[in-house]
Structure 1
């Protein structure tokens, strides 16, 4: 959590805890991330990473459904990629036999972000690829699976 707060400070984004109508959120015009008070560590860490994703990706609030949905997906993907170490994921998946909630607890992330991370994985033969793209050798990370 401290690393995320430090990143926010480096980016000039203020992080506060404050009750509001919506649980948490990012206000681009004020460079402000609001977290709900009393959130559990896993949730706060995941939400903060998600909101930082909005900032880093340059998202602006919109009421247009398809763009809003895309922005939420992109912020979740950014958060998942920055909070979940692929090698640790492989180890935890083996230990927990793929049980989502246990894995999320061990990885210290919200279950939603673990689901997003899983959706970015592709298993082919004896290897797992993170964020594969078209073309030979086009992936973010490749891990041999035994």
Structure 2
């Protein structure tokens, strides 16, 4: 959590707690004021996930538009940034093995929300006996690569 607060500080982003229930959300970011608003009294895993997501919006200077596809892209990118900064590959691999791939249990194990686990999974590409995190086009274009043990 301290890491996220440090990132917000470096970005010059203010974090405030206010009731957002009327907006049906747990957090939001206003680029014009560089302010992240968070719902008070969230669980720590929800707070970590929401704060990381909103910091991603701040990093990218995201502003809501009237174009649904643009907003969807911003939301997906924020979810992926949060996942990459809250979940370590080795921790994910261990949790996935312990919980047989059950996303809600993995989320509890990793102290994030299920949506963050889903975003992390969306960046994994399994090819043969290898798993690539955030693969790209071309040789060597991935953030991490692990070799899966052979099935018994």
TM-score (norm 1): 0.95
Work out the CA distance in 1 between the residues paired with 2:109 and 2:66.
36
Work out the CA distance in 1 between the residues paired with 2:34 and 2:120.
27
Residue 62 of structure 1 aligns to a residue in which SS?
Answer: coil
Work out the CA distance in 2 between the residues paired with 1:143 and 1:15.
37
User: Displacement of 1:27 after TM fit?
Assistant: 0.6
Corresponding residue for residue 87 of structure 1: 90
Match of 2:75 among 57, 72, 75: 72
Work out the CA distance in 2 between the residues paired with 1:2 and 1:106.
19
Structure 2 unaligned spans of 5+: none
User: Displacement of 1:131 after TM fit?
Assistant: 0.9
Structure 1 unaligned spans of 5+: none
User: Displacement of 1:61 after TM fit?
Assistant: 2.0
1:143 aligns with 2:146: yes
1:106 aligns with 2:102: no
Q: How many residues align?
A: 146
Residue 145 of structure 2 aligns to a residue in which SS?
Answer: strand
User: Displacement of 1:6 after TM fit?
Assistant: 1.7
Work out the CA distance in 2 between the residues paired with 1:126 and 1:61.
41
Corresponding residue for residue 6 of structure 1: 6
TM-score (norm 2): 0.92
Residue 32 of structure 2 aligns to a residue in which SS?
Answer: helix
Work out the CA distance in 2 between the residues paired with 1:96 and 1:68.
33
Render the CA deviation track for 1:92-113: whole Å, top value 9, x for unaligned: 1111111111100111111001
Root-mean-square deviation (CA, aligned residues, Å) is 1.0
User: Displacement of 1:49 after TM fit?
Assistant: 0.3
Render the CA deviation track for 1:73-108: whole Å, top value 9, x for unaligned: 111111111111011111111111111111001111
User: Displacement of 1:135 after TM fit?
Assistant: 1.1
Work out the CA distance in 1 between the residues paired with 2:2 and 2:142.
29
Work out the CA distance in 1 between the residues paired with 2:143 and 2:31.
29
Work out the CA distance in 2 between the residues paired with 1:35 and 1:58.
18
Work out the CA distance in 2 between the residues paired with 1:66 and 1:99.
29
